[in-house]
Structure 1
Amino acid sequence: MGSRINRIQQRLAKLYIDAFLVTNQQNIYYLTGFNLLQDDGFLLITPDRAIIVSDERYHLALEEFASEEVVATISQDYYADLNRICQALQVEVLGYEDTVSYQLYDLLDDTMIADLVPFSNLVEKMRQIKDSQELALLKKAADLHAAGYRYLLSQVHPGVSERNLANLLDFWMKEHGASGPSFSTIVASGANAAQPHATASDKLIEDGDAVTLDFGYFVGGYTADMTRTFAVGSIDPELKDIYQIVNTARRNVIDHVKVGMRGDKLDHFGRQLIAEAGYDDEFNHGMGHGIGLNVHELPVSYGPGTPHVKFANNEVITVEPGIYVPEIGGVRIEDDVIVTHGGPVVLTTAPTELIIVGD
């Protein structure tokens, strides 16, 4: 198999375009290994060239960037130079990512002589299937998350705030190798845990709270995504029952992960158990999503309405069933899983049994 850039180059003729413009930061990094921040330039791929265009701020970094297939040029006007390059290379039809802002599209439409053709998820579909190096980085990230969870449990006690726990975790993860969060950490206790996407607040943890922790951090450019729910002291018996239902649903979904499985079918193996327990209305989100360079990669979500999603070998997805009961609280448990021909490989090693802090 050729390089990632070469795979794009080989497709240009079949896509009826002369070149492809990449402006998404993660896609540029995926294709080249160069970290060009969003809106700080672009990557142009032609049948025999790959050109990064940026400005003077990246001069030294691009000089040090060792690549046999990517060349770089410094610009004071990215898209005027793009037009000049395309004219010089006789690019008449230019493909671009359909996720660009309207402002950038308007600029391209005004500037470019070449015809513009939008493409959806051209690079993102490549990113969906992970190679061995990517899988190793995702495993490293998942291991750090498990260690971070163990650390945070040691810091939990009645009277500590949700926000303080989130800040402690953030510091610990960064001190131990994470570059930063892929989304705002969720620490939701008591009734707050009935909100699937609650943010960490100033609420103090109380004895009898169930606490949901959902966090994701980048390690080597790739992010894991993990959720655990634990108890502080003696919690409502209904929440204990809900925990077992959610955990059984999580395990049942993972047991059925395989190449070729449809998204809606995989979702059914967990959602049906939750519905049979009488909580179908309290599970109000998808079963999971893809992860990688972003915390939500293709498939962005899979659930009851996703028959078009079919899992492939070496995709990495989350499995995250949950039940949320207003005024009582909620439970969500999330693992990261590799889809393989040999069955599921669970990356998340943190314990899934109900942990009671202060027992």
Structure 2
Amino acid sequence: MITINRIEKLRQQFQQLHIDSFIVTNSFNLLYLVGFDGLPGDGCLVVTATGQTMITDDRYKVELEQSLPKDIELRITRNYYDVANDVLKAAGGQQIGIETSVSLALAHQLKSKLAGQLVETTNVIEAMRRSKDADEIAALRKSTQLASQAFSELIHQVRVGQTELEVANWLNNWMLTHGAQKPSFDTIVASGYRSALPHGFATTKPLEKGDMVTVDFGYYVDGYTSDMTRTFALGDPGDELRHVYDVVHEAQERMFKMIKPGNNGKVIDAAGRDYIGEMGFGDYFKHGSGHGIGLDIHETPNFGPSYESNVIHENYVMTVEPGIYLPGKGGVRIEDDLLVTQEGNERLTSAPRTLQVI
């Protein structure tokens, strides 16, 4: 999956970025470019006009010696940025690109260690990560299919009286047992009045008859994550919340129809948000309606009122997640993962989207 071509694509942007080298420290960008799956802060990649050097310590030596492409030099040290400076000086690096995600503390450290001029760049590698290659798409298919299967199993296990945490723990155990590597965020299980909380992480609240229950989860498979939300009911939730569900379902359908190459995040978002507003619930939908996924749970581009510049293209993988949240009553969110295709899109998550009443 990891090829030297990704580094070469980065290097090809040097001239327009007005840099002659780049130092990569973001853990997801390191994973994307060289397959380095270490802890954040445990190394860096230096890309110059003529070469590329991965710098880390002894903990990763054996693994990287086996996995790194031969074109990438490996340097083992605890003094990452002193060695990075040596590499840059040897290559004549003067204008050194750094990522927007660099912390203030790390920026100060780089400034003190590196002899050249630091040049802040914005989402350069992140933009490269938007378009998935065949291997990445295959991994995302596996992760989204496993998530869909998990939800189909979950709704046969949930019972009145279980706590939200018990539901989350059951889901976690099932996912890990069936091939997931780890969760990409803390699973959300929000029931009854708590389903009106968009990020209502699981608590000891018991599930009650008539509750709407929102479950939002994402798990890594082969290094790539899913991100799916379903809302179901424990018995009859009442006419109002059934109506809310129907509105969210239709809003998502309208967004699906707008997702195709060339459309932007504002237009796609409006397809769902405007409908929710027309149905009288505009004040109860306050978050963005989608984002990219891949190595990270939240990648660019995004869908939302302020994302007109976020144009989508073929082979992007996006979430679509409209919602309505009525304080004190309950809420509904439906979230699916889509692959943008040449003609439109393909839904990767296959769990039922109609209201499941248990």
Range into which the TM-score falls when normalised by the shorter chain:
over 0.9
CA distance in 2, matches of 1:242, 1:16: 51
- Which segment drifts farther, 200-209 or 40-49? 40-49
**Of residues 165, 176, 179 in structure 2, which corresponds to 1:177?**
179
Instruction: Report the aligned-residue RMSD.
Output: 1.3
1:339 matches 2:348: no
- Are 1:289 and 2:302 matched, yes or no? no
Q: Name the residue aligned to 1:319.
A: 320
**In the alignment, which residue of structure 2 is the partner of 1:17?**
19
Deviation at 1:2, TM superposition (A): 7.3
1:99 to 98, 101, 124: 101
**CA distance in structure 2 between the partners assigned to 1:305 and 1:24 by the alignment:** 26
**Which residue of 68, 72, 79 maps to 1:77?**
79
* Structure 1 gap ranges (5+): none
Any stretches of 5+ residues in structure 2 without a counterpart? none
TM-score by length of 1: 0.96
**Cα distance in 2, alignment partners of residues 12 and 278 from structure 1:** 50
What CA deviation, in whole Å up to 9, does each residue of 1:199-242 have, x standing for no partner? 10100001110100100111111111100000101112111111
**Are residues 1:263 and 2:232 paired?**
no
Deviation at 1:70, TM superposition (A): 1.2
Is this contact kept in 1: 2:4–2:69, CA < 8 A?
Answer: no
Does the Cα contact within 8 Å between 1:217 and 1:223 map onto a contact in 2? yes
* Alpha-carbon distance change, 329 to 173 in structure 1, aligned in 2, over 3 angstroms: same
Quote the sequence identity (%): 43
One-letter code of the match for 1:92?
Q
Between the aligned partners of 1:130 and 1:254, the Cα distance in structure 2 is 19
Q: After superposition, where does 1:57-206 map in structure 2 within 5 Å?
A: 57-206=59-208
Instruction: Show CA shifts across 1:91-127 (max 9, x none).
Output: 1221111211111111111111111111110100000
Q: How does the TM-score come out when normalised to structure 2?
A: 0.97
Deviation at residue 42 of structure 1 after TM alignment? 0.4
Task: Answer yes or no: is the 8 Å Cα contact 1:227–1:333 preserved in 2.
Answer: yes
Distance in 2 (CA, whole Å) between partners of 1:241 and 1:317 is 26
Give the Cα–Cα distance (whole angstroms) in 1 for the partners of residues 13 and 287 of structure 2: 36
**Hey, what does 1:310 align to over in structure 2?**
311
Instruction: Provide closer, same or farther for how the CA distance between residues 66 and 139 of structure 1 changes in structure 2, counting only shifts above 3 A.
Output: same
Contact 1:10 1:47 in 2 (8 A): no
Distance 1:108 1:256 in 2: 44
1:46 CA displacement: 1.2
33-42 or 227-236, which deviates more: 33-42
Answer yes or no: is the 8 Å Cα contact 2:48–2:88 preserved in 1.
no
Aligned AA for 2:197? Q
Evaluate the alpha carbon distance shift between residue 309 and residue 114 of structure 1 in structure 2; reply closer, same or farther with a 3 A threshold.
same
8 Å CA contact retained: 2:46, 2:88: no
Deviation at 1:10, TM superposition (A): 2.1
Letter in 2 for 1:57: R
- Give 1:338's aligned amino acid: L
Q: Give the secondary structure class of the aligned counterpart of 2:255.
A: helix
Could you tell me how far 1:272 is from its partner in structure 2?
1.6
2:255 paired residue number: 253
With over 3 angstroms needed to count, the CA separation of the structure-2 counterparts of 1:103 and 1:66, relative to structure 1, is closer
Aligned partner of 1:217: which letter?
Y
Whether the 8 Å CA contact 2:23–2:98 is kept in 1: the answer is yes
1:9, 1:48 within 8 Å by CA — same for their partners in 2? Answer: no
Please name the residue that 2:6 is paired with: 4
Question: What secondary structure, in the 3-state scheme, does the structure 2 residue paired with 1:356 have?
Answer: coil
Q: CA deviation at 1:66?
A: 4.2
What's the counterpart of residue 280 of structure 2? 278
* Distance (Å, rounded) in 1 between the aligned partners of 2:45 and 2:38: 9
- Look up the SS of the partner of 1:14 in the other structure: helix
Give, in whole Å, the separation in 2 of the partners of 1:100 and 1:304.
27
Deviation at 1:137, TM superposition (A): 0.8
Work out the CA distance in 2 between the residues paired with 1:264 and 1:286.
10
- Number of equivalenced pairs: 356
